[in-house]
Amino acid sequence: MRMRRVAPYVFVVLAIAAVALAEQPAGLPVVYRFDEVKSKVMRLPGADPKSEEVKAKAGDAAAAGDTVRTGFWGRAILSVPDRACRFEVFSSTRVRLAGGEPGVILFLESGRLEAFFDKFTGAAEERRVAAPGALLVVRGTRYGVETGAGEQSTLAVFEGTVEVLPTAPGARRLLVGPGEYGVFGPKISPRKGAIAPGADERSWRSRGTAALEGSSGLQQGQGPQTPLGTGSQGRGGPSASRGGH
């Protein structure tokens, strides 16, 4: 009889413990894993300033502060199990793991990546991605982002919504939804437009920002979104942000 009374309490305790283990506290180190590696992919450990680059292999772990760069033919898929997300890092790209800002799990310094975010019970602020000039906040989203010359970045959203939080004082945030692209940078206020028909995720994976040629003009950030004029900024579509990849 006593065992019957205890059983429900044991079940509740085990359920609470499972939830606690599934959601890693924000204060603990984030663990990264190389799920796939193709050709030349190098990792520079960030914990030791005297350390040298090592060649990454599938199954390797990485830590916050590490820098990962891919060669001309290189490609890697990095997963972050505790944050229910993964990143496909394309060729000629450089990323820093955990960008130094609270909640940032990856900083794109240059090049191109595609991000995949699965359902997550924690706070959206724990899954931020940084690029020069902005933080990207998501929930259940799939998008690609490329940082090119002049630290200008182009974001293409394939599923869900991305909130672009510019780091420049006074700049307005921007919500970019599926089928839209956005442009931002340290000296560029976030703007967005509609992706041209035919410029889908598959073409972006193949050509990057160049696949967005012919997309609509850009609109400014949060608040009444007013189309830009026909001056040089108004014509600043995706071609202006090509990074040469």
Tokens of 49: 């300033």
Residue 115's pLDDT is: 97
pTM score, two decimals?
Answer: 0.77
Distance (Å, whole) CA 53 – CA 199? 37
User: Considering the domain boundaries, does residue 51 fall inside one?
Assistant: yes
CATH code for position 179: 2.60.120.1440
Residue range 111-123, pLDDT digits in tens: 999 999 998 877 6
Residue 19's pLDDT is: 39
In angstroms, how far is the first alpha carbon of the chain from the final one?
70
Whether 162 contacts 132, CB under 8 Å? no
User: Considering the domain boundaries, does residue 232 fall inside one?
Assistant: no
User: Considering the domain boundaries, does residue 15 fall inside one?
Assistant: no
Residue 236's pLDDT is: 38
Give just the sign of the alpha carbon dihedral 202, 208, 209, 214.
negative
User: Considering the domain boundaries, does residue 146 fall inside one?
Assistant: yes
Residue 240's pLDDT is: 41
User: Considering the domain boundaries, does residue 47 fall inside one?
Assistant: yes
User: Considering the domain boundaries, does residue 115 fall inside one?
Assistant: yes
Task: Please tell me the total count of domains within the chain.
Answer: 1
Residue 102's pLDDT is: 79
The three-state (H, E, C) secondary structure of the chain, written as one string: CHHHHHHHHHHHHHHHHHHHHHCCCCCCCCEEEEEEEECCEEEECCCCCCCCCEECCCCCEEECCCEEEECCCCEEEEEEHHHCEEEEECCCCEEEECCCCCCEEEEEEEEEEEEEECCCCCCHHHHEEEECCEEEEECCCEEEEEECHHHCEEEEEEECCEEEEECCCCCCCEEECCCEEEEEECCEEEEEEECCCCCCHHHHHHHHHHHHCCCCCCECCCCCCCECCCCCCCCCCHHHHCCCC
Residue range 190-227, pLDDT digits in tens: 999 999 988 999 999 999 999 998 777 666 654 433 33
User: Considering the domain boundaries, does residue 245 fall inside one?
Assistant: no
Instruction: Give which of 146, 72, 71 is closest to 115, Cα–Cα.
Output: 146
Distance (Å, whole) CA 156 – CA 145? 6
pLDDT classification of 125: cutoffs 50, 70, 90? low
**Domain housing 92:** 30-221
Residue range 11-48, pLDDT digits in tens: 433 443 443 434 444 456 789 999 999 999 999 998 67
User: Considering the domain boundaries, does residue 18 fall inside one?
Assistant: no
Residue 220's pLDDT is: 62
Distance (Å, whole) CA 155 – CA 162? 9
Tokens of 33: 């894993």
Write the CA distances from 95 to 2, 65, 108, 208, integer angstroms: 57, 10, 5, 17
